[in-house]
Each structure stands twice: as C-alpha cells, then as structure tokens.
A and B are shown apart, each in its own frame.
Chain A
Amino acid sequence: MRAEDGSLAPAAGRFVSGRVMIGSEMLLRAEGISKQFLGVTALSNVDFDLAAGEVHALVGENGAGKSTLIKILTGAYRRDGGRIVLAGKPIDPSDVMDAQELGIGTVYQEVNLLPNLTVAENLFLGREPKRFGLTNRSEANRRSREILGQYGLDIDVTSLLATYSVAVRQIVAIARAVDLSGKVLILDEPTASLDAAEVSRLFSILDGLKQRGLGIVFITHFFDQVYRIADRVTILRNGHKVATRPIEGLKRIELVSLMLGRELQEQEAHVAEPVDRSQKPVVASFKALSKNGQIAPFDLEMRAGEVVGVAGLLGSGRTETAELMFGIHQPDHGTIEVDGKPVTFASPRDAIAHGFGFCPEDRKLDGIVEDLSVRENIVLALQARRGWAKPLPRKEQEAIADRYIEALDIRTSDREKPIKFLSGGNQQKVILARWLATDPRLLILDEPTRGIDVGAHAEIIRLIGELRQRGMSLLVISSELEEIVAYATRVRVLADRRHTGELPAGEISADAIMRAIASAEDETSGGGAGEGRAAEILREGTA
C-alpha cells in the first residue's frame, strides 16, 4: 500500500529520481497567496504547488494558516493577493461550487454531507440525473453503486447516509468530490475520527486515486500518516510557508523543528532556575487519569512553587490532559487527590472549589464573556465561587479590577469597557486576572501567549515566573519551546495522546524538548506500546 511498494509506484514521468519536477506540468500552483482578516495577517505570500498523482501533506500548528490556505483554494475565502493556476489556466474561484466545477473538491473533517438523505442522493445532490425533467432515481442509484464500487464499497445506496459509519461517509464524500471535481482532492484532517483499520482503508483508496492522476492535498497532524502517504510536505507557521520538502530523506526531527520553528543548535535565552521540588508540598496529584480516545493513563504530581511545562505537537493530548485535571471532562479511570484527600470533579466548579484555575486555549470561545465589562470579567470566577447570594460589593469589585489592571498592565481606557474592545493580549491578561483574583493554588494555562503581541507575551512569561516564586503551582501548555524553557521547572512531553516522557529541571533546553518530541513521535508512530527510553523518563518521582 505504501508508495515504495513497487506495484504502486508513482506514474512514470512525474518523478525524476525522487524529485518532483517543477514547472508547467504542475496540476495546481498557488503563488504569493495573502489573506488578512480585519488587519490581522492570516497568510503572507505563501506558495504552494501540487502535481498530478501526488499526495502533498500540509502541516502546521493551530493558527499556522492551513485552513485559510485551503479555504482560498476552494473558494470559501477570496484571497487578498497572489494567483492560482489550475492545469495551466489562472482561476479565481468565487465560491465553493465554482471551485468544485473547476476541479477542486474538498472533504472536511466533519463530513460535509447530509445524513438525512440517502447515499445516492448525497452523491448526486445538485446534479441529479434527469428524465422528463424529473429526478431519475433508478439511474442515480445505478450510477452510485457503480461509483462506490470503484472504491470497493458495496452498500445499499438507497439507505440514509446516517445509517453508515463515519468511515463510510468519508468514502462517500471522497467519491462525490472526485466524481464532481476530478482534478484536485483536498482532505482536511480526514483521519481524525477513524480507527487504524479505517485509516489504512482510506489510504489504499488514496493510493488508487493517485494512480488515476489526481492531485491530493492532505492536512493532518499525525506524522506517521505524513510519512506513510505523502510524497511531499509543506510546513506553514504563523501564516508563512516555512518549507516544502520531499518526504524521502526528510528526518522526523527536521520536520518537528520546521514546524516548531527552531534550528536545532540555537541557544536558549535564559532558563528558569532549578527547584528542589521534594521540599515543596504536594498540591494535587493525578493518578492513572485517562479517558478513552482522549488521553492514555498518566500520573502527575503538582507541587507548590513549580511550573510544569507541557510540550507536544497539536493533537498529542495536551489540552485533553488539562481538561481532565480541571473537571471539564470526567476521566474514565484514575483518581485525583488534593491535599492527600481523594476528590472527584463533576464540573470545573468543583475544581475551582479546590483552588484550581484554568486559562483556556481558545480565548474567544472559552475565555472572555465579550459583552461584559473588564471589571465583570475579572470578578466573574471569584463571584461564581462565592455564590450568587453573596455578591461582591461594587466598591470591592472596582478595587479588585483596578488592582489587576495596574498589576498586569491591562491597557483599557476604563474598567467598564466591554472586554470585546480590548486587544488579544489584554483580553488574555483579563482572563489571567480573573483567576488570580480567586487566589488559586494550581493554575493551568493552555497556550497563554497564543496570538498576542510581543510586549504582552514577555509580560505573561515574567508573570508566570513571579507566580511560581509566590508558591503557586502552575501547569503551562505551550507550542513555543523557548517559552517553556524560560519558565518551566520540568517539562512533560506528550505524543499521540500519551505522556511519553519528562525532562527534569537540569535537562531542559529547546533542543532537548524537540528531541524528546521527535523520538516520542517516532516510538508511537509504529502503533506499538512505545515502551522504552521515553516511558522510562516518565516514571514520576513519587516513590
């Protein structure tokens, strides 16, 4: 099934000694694509090309610009600059339908079909075969069976799509896209909800489509899938293209460093001083916590005055770890102890009652209450903990708000301004203030510096150090390795929804973290148990 398998070798003439030929025979070429949203640059001068019969993987962290690029190629967004050439002709898709007719079909992670219609109706939606001006059902059904037969799928096409598994729906979506468009197929994280057998079935279908000369763009954050199916990979970061590389000869560690944006030998700005954690009291310990399909069992002991950095690629289980710890989701197994006593968190409210705080990754969706003022946003968690019957007096609310506006240097014209008018960095500081006002013992920060300006970035890093020195226990998730190095007193490494290793205080460097991530990705990619060095390091110092 793999590309190196002789029987499925790439079509002759496309590759010349493993190198993709550049030039006019490229099926799809996008040059200098730029896009801004309300003055925020989402894509800056990105080039991308795709050969017929090629699978081109597109990788990058959240917010790197993958979906923006895809949406521009498929006509969902209009580009601000650059040009797109499809099969030698410049195109300018005005909407998704237009792009489909030009030959670019897309299958999204959440399959974009209608579950309440039959399989055949889905395949021919909007282009039903007609007879005497009426839909010719039997013709549609016959052709549907024929089309799906090409994908080795023998199902009742007159049943509702909803009766089939996600994997089958995905194949139907691919069949529709290929039948409708026929030149370029874009797959946006198609494997996110598939199991291993379904993934390999999908990949054999993709191999077949390659043979037929389709160009396939494949978005994923699973490295082993990139290596298994892709011919080339393009890495995006912060709206810029970092590189396009042939997969052959590309080492995993190179790919990780391209994604995270660091050269391997680069030196650290500064490192948090080591902490003798055995002297500090345990705030909370999490034992064998797990949730099926979200995160494999992990142990974690949080002590006062330490910052545990959490590193790993997107989808490695970072946020899932935090969500179990904070009671947003309930673990299938495992126990949580606070001050040595077992507790269960049915909701964040319970975790907060035990002195936990959590700054979520998606500030807009999960953090700010946009129409409420800065003051109200700051006192919200504290007020919620006190209960509705014990309102904070207005004067006290104002004092708290003013204190944090000053301490965190929140830039706002006044405390009664709705938070939605603040910049991203200042909104983040308000959310931090919301938790600091509750005087938490354990604070979980999920990507606290994402999408904020440089000044606020530095202030938040400094603040994390201060909070640690004041004895708070912090767990900080970040994709920015320099950042983790700057504040973490130990670093948890995650890969493939497992805690695969830990770097103790003396061994933290961006280089070491990156190596740990890359080796963990390597070990887990085989699908095996992944025991070994990483698992050894994982042993919590709890003995």
Chain B
Amino acid sequence: MTLPTTIRRVLPQLVALFVILALNTAIAPGFLDIAFANGRFYGSLIDILNRGAPVALLAVGMTLVIATKGIDLSVGAVMAIAGAVAAALITSDHSLAATILATLGVGIVCGLWNGALVAFLGIQPIIATLILMVAGRGIAQLITEGVILTFNDPGLVFVGTGAVFGIPFPVILWVAIGIAASVLFRTTALGLLVEAIGINRRASSLAGIGTSALLLAVYAASGLCAAVAGIVAAGDIRGADANNAGLWLELDAILAVVVGGNSLMGGRFSIAGSLIGAMIIQSVNTGILLAGFPPEFNLVIKAAIIVVILVVQSPASQTLFAFMKSRPRSEEDAAAPVREPEKEAAR
C-alpha cells in the first residue's frame, strides 16, 4: 500500500468514521439524504458537520497544546467568556468588526495567561488551566451580569447560523481554521519544534529552541480557537449563556484529539486526525439521537463506542495487529516482528 503518509496517518480514524456513518445509515435509512432548501443544504451529514463545529474548533488548539505534552482544560470556560464579551460589546453598539476582534483578543489573552503559568512558572498544565476553567465561568457571569445576554446583530448571528454557497458558516470556519493551522505548522518549522518540546522539553531548550515563547504561542492559539468557538456558540443561540456555553466541551475536545490518534504524552500530532476525531464524536452523538434510544442511554452508549475506538488504537493492540499482520508475510518483512518488541522495550 503506497498511500501518502498524511492519509496513512489518519486511516484508522477514517475507517472508524465510516463504520459509524454506516451504522447510522443502517439505523436511520434517510441518514445520507441531503436536501437543498432556502439557500442551504440540509441533512444529517450536514448536521454532523455543523453541530461538531465548536468541538472541531477547540480540537485544533487542543491538538497543539497536547503536542507540547500539555492540556488546556479552560477552553470551555474561554468559550463562555468569548460569548459574553461578544454579546456585551455588540449590545452596547460596537461595530461587528470591533466586537469580533476584541473577542478574539480576549481569547488570546486567556491563552497567554495559561501559557505564562505553564512556561514561566512551571505549573503543571492540568492545574494551570484548571484555574481559568473554574474562574472563567465566573468572569463570564460578571460580564453578562448574571443574565443571558441576547442580541440580534445579523452579522454575529450569521457566524453561528449563516451559510455560504449552501454550506453552514461554522463548517467553513472549522475547515478553514483547521487547514490554516495545518499549513502554518507544517510548512514552517513550528510543527517540528512543537513536537520536540512535547517529547523532551529540556533537550529542546538545550538545542536552542525558545521553549517558553513557543509554549505561550501554543496556548494563545488554543485560546484563540476557543474564542472562535465561543462566537459560533453564541451566534447559534443569539445570546451569551455564561453558565452553559461550552460546558464540558473541553472534555469532548480532548477526546477528539485522542480519538484522532494523538498521544497525550505529547510529540507527534495530526490536526487532521483531531478534526476527524471531532466528527467521529459528533456522528456518535447524532447516531444515538437518530436511533431513538431513551436519552438516559446516550452517555453510556457514547462512552462504550469511544472505549472501543480507543482500545483499537491503543499501543497494545497496535503491537498485536502488527504481530498478526507480519506473520504470514514473506522473509522480506522479517524485520517487522523484531522491531516491535524493541519498541516495547524502549517504552
């Protein structure tokens, strides 16, 4: 098989996605139907792409943070802050451009705060970002003064519900940001440097990598992605709900990254993998709804499906697959079974 490396990297995720889509089709016969009405496409597939937008956006930033061996628990709260800021500014008669720029700026500041705690104070990322995760909702409530701030600005609503050439705008956003991030990190040396930090921060620093600056940048990127997701979520409901916007989405984002085949131990990363991971999670959500299970089953079924995916991806089963695959092969591949135990020993 001579697929390009990028495709080969996300192949297991693509297979998992297609299996789930196939299951959904079996459950709900009309699943694959797409209709065009009122200037936009409708259908379950479109729904998955659209509903999965916030998690997909968060997953882009989360992938980068996790690649540095970090984690960002604050993204859900940053979504709430961003929604609150956007709603507060637009309702106090600021222009759409100013509102969006200021909101993105607030997201970046949130990320810089996390990054500073991690890079300069050496606080463990899970603790450093936990601070903003807890405090963030409080900050959002202070901004909205404890109420759900609603707005009717067509521009802001468009970010959450609009469509371009029939494609929902949130979908365009996450695909564009995903591609932009991939291009930025893979056509420059950023990807290599981020991976090096995640694998061995000390050695990277000794090799002359500006580890602190890069960590700051990566957490800032995560904050930026969360701010975009926050605007999408607020636009979608035409209001900022400080209590519920982005609630628990940090966990879905982490899950998307992991389902996307990225290691929580840092290092090698694939943004494409994480985006597919986000779509897998959304497909599972949609499938459960379509199947008409009682809602109380939803979380359990979702958990079970995720467990299966993670078990298939786990290093232990990968070794097993490689071993089973290498057996019937001819002598030219004799090196493979030797390499695998060596890999285990090195862990």
Cβ of A365: which chain B residues have Cβ within 8 Å of it?
200, 202-203
B40-75 residues with Cβ-Cβ distance < 8 A to A are none
* Residue B192 at the chain A interface, CB threshold 8 Å: yes
* Residue B193 at the chain A interface, CB threshold 8 Å: yes
Cβ of A434: which chain B residues have Cβ within 8 Å of it?
207
B327-347 residues with Cβ-Cβ distance < 8 A to A are 339, 342-343, 345-346
Cβ of A274: which chain B residues have Cβ within 8 Å of it?
none
- Contact between A384 and B346, CB atoms less than 8 A apart: no
Q: How large is the interface on B (under 10, 10 to 19, 20 to 34, 35 or more residues)?
A: 20 to 34
B297-333 residues with Cβ-Cβ distance < 8 A to A are none
Interface string of A357-390 (1 = CB under 8 A from B): 0101000011111111000100011011111111
With beta carbons under 8 angstroms apart, the residue of A384, A388, A389, A421 that contacts B207 is A384
- Contact between B205 and A376, CB atoms less than 8 A apart: no
- Contact between A369 and B206, CB atoms less than 8 A apart: no
* Residue B204 at the chain A interface, CB threshold 8 Å: yes
* Residue A347 at the chain B interface, CB threshold 8 Å: yes
Cβ of B205: which chain A residues have Cβ within 8 Å of it?
347-349
* A-contacting 9-mer, from B8-16, B140-148, B155-163, B183-191: B183-191
With beta carbons under 8 angstroms apart, the residue of A38, A352, A376, A392 that contacts B208 is A352
- Contact between A349 and B188, CB atoms less than 8 A apart: no
Name, among B193, B196, B209, the residue most crowded by chain A CB atoms within 10 Å (CB to CB). B209
Cβ of A392: which chain B residues have Cβ within 8 Å of it?
189
* Residue A391 at the chain B interface, CB threshold 8 Å: yes
Interface string of B189-228 (1 = CB under 8 A from A): 1101101100110111111111000100000000000000
Q: A371-B199, A384-B193 are known contacts. Are A391 and B188 too (CB-CB below 8 A)?
A: yes
- Contact between B189 and A360, CB atoms less than 8 A apart: no
- Contact between A384 and B209, CB atoms less than 8 A apart: yes
- Contact between B199 and A391, CB atoms less than 8 A apart: no
With beta carbons under 8 angstroms apart, the residue of B188, B203, B268, B342 that contacts A366 is B203
* Residue A420 at the chain B interface, CB threshold 8 Å: yes
- Contact between B345 and A38, CB atoms less than 8 A apart: yes
Chain B, residue nearest A363 (CB): B203
A331-349 residues with Cβ-Cβ distance < 8 A to B are 347-349
- Complex alpha-carbon distance, A421 and B340, angstroms: 11
Residues of chain A at interface, number, CB under 8 A: 34
Q: A366-B202, A421-B342 are known contacts. Are A376 and B192 too (CB-CB below 8 A)?
A: yes
- Complex alpha-carbon distance, A391 and B210, angstroms: 15
- Contact between A367 and B203, CB atoms less than 8 A apart: yes
- Contact between B206 and A388, CB atoms less than 8 A apart: no
- Complex alpha-carbon distance, A133 and B206, angstroms: 55
With beta carbons under 8 angstroms apart, the residue of A348, A383, A385, A390 that contacts B192 is A383
- Complex alpha-carbon distance, A392 and B187, angstroms: 10
* Residue B83 at the chain A interface, CB threshold 8 Å: no
- Complex alpha-carbon distance, A365 and B190, angstroms: 22
Closest CB of chain A to B120's CB: distance in Å? 12
- Complex alpha-carbon distance, A347 and B212, angstroms: 11
Closest CB of chain A to B211's CB: distance in Å? 9
Closest CB of chain A to B181's CB: distance in Å? 14
Chain B, residue nearest A380 (CB): B207
- Contact between B208 and A348, CB atoms less than 8 A apart: yes
Q: A349-B208, A358-B206, A384-B208 are known contacts. Are A370 and B192 too (CB-CB below 8 A)?
A: no
* Residue B267 at the chain A interface, CB threshold 8 Å: yes
Q: A348-B208, A384-B209 are known contacts. Are A369 and B203 too (CB-CB below 8 A)?
A: yes
Cβ of A368: which chain B residues have Cβ within 8 Å of it?
200, 203
Chain B, residue nearest A360 (CB): B206
- Complex alpha-carbon distance, A524 and B268, angstroms: 50
- Contact between B203 and A383, CB atoms less than 8 A apart: no
- Contact between B189 and A381, CB atoms less than 8 A apart: no
- Complex alpha-carbon distance, A370 and B263, angstroms: 14
- Contact between A349 and B196, CB atoms less than 8 A apart: no
With beta carbons under 8 angstroms apart, the residue of B189, B190, B199 that contacts A386 is B189
Cβ of A537: which chain B residues have Cβ within 8 Å of it?
none
- Contact between A383 and B189, CB atoms less than 8 A apart: yes
- Contact between B206 and A389, CB atoms less than 8 A apart: no
Name, among A353, A366, A390, the residue most crowded by chain B CB atoms within 10 Å (CB to CB). A366
Cβ of A360: which chain B residues have Cβ within 8 Å of it?
203, 206
* Residue A328 at the chain B interface, CB threshold 8 Å: yes
With beta carbons under 8 angstroms apart, the residue of A38, A348, A391 that contacts B206 is A348
Name, among B192, B343, B345, the residue most crowded by chain A CB atoms within 10 Å (CB to CB). B192
- Contact between A385 and B208, CB atoms less than 8 A apart: yes
With beta carbons under 8 angstroms apart, the residue of A326, A328, A352, A388 that contacts B193 is A388
- Complex alpha-carbon distance, A372 and B199, angstroms: 8
- Contact between B267 and A381, CB atoms less than 8 A apart: no
Chain A, residue nearest B195 (CB): A372
Closest CB of chain B to A30's CB: distance in Å? 28
- Complex alpha-carbon distance, A381 and B192, angstroms: 11
- Contact between A370 and B200, CB atoms less than 8 A apart: yes
Cβ of A328: which chain B residues have Cβ within 8 Å of it?
206
Cβ of A383: which chain B residues have Cβ within 8 Å of it?
189, 192-193
- Contact between B199 and A369, CB atoms less than 8 A apart: yes
Cβ of A388: which chain B residues have Cβ within 8 Å of it?
188-190, 193, 214
- Complex alpha-carbon distance, A402 and B202, angstroms: 26
Q: List 19 A-B contacts (CB under 8 A).
A: A348-B207, A349-B209, A360-B203, A365-B202, A366-B206, A369-B199, A369-B200, A370-B199, A370-B200, A371-B195, A371-B268, A372-B199, A380-B192, A384-B207, A384-B209, A388-B190, A388-B214, A421-B342, A421-B346
Minimum-distance CB pairs A-B, first 10: A352-B208, A384-B208, A391-B189, A384-B209, A381-B207, A388-B190, A388-B189, A369-B200, A380-B207, A349-B208
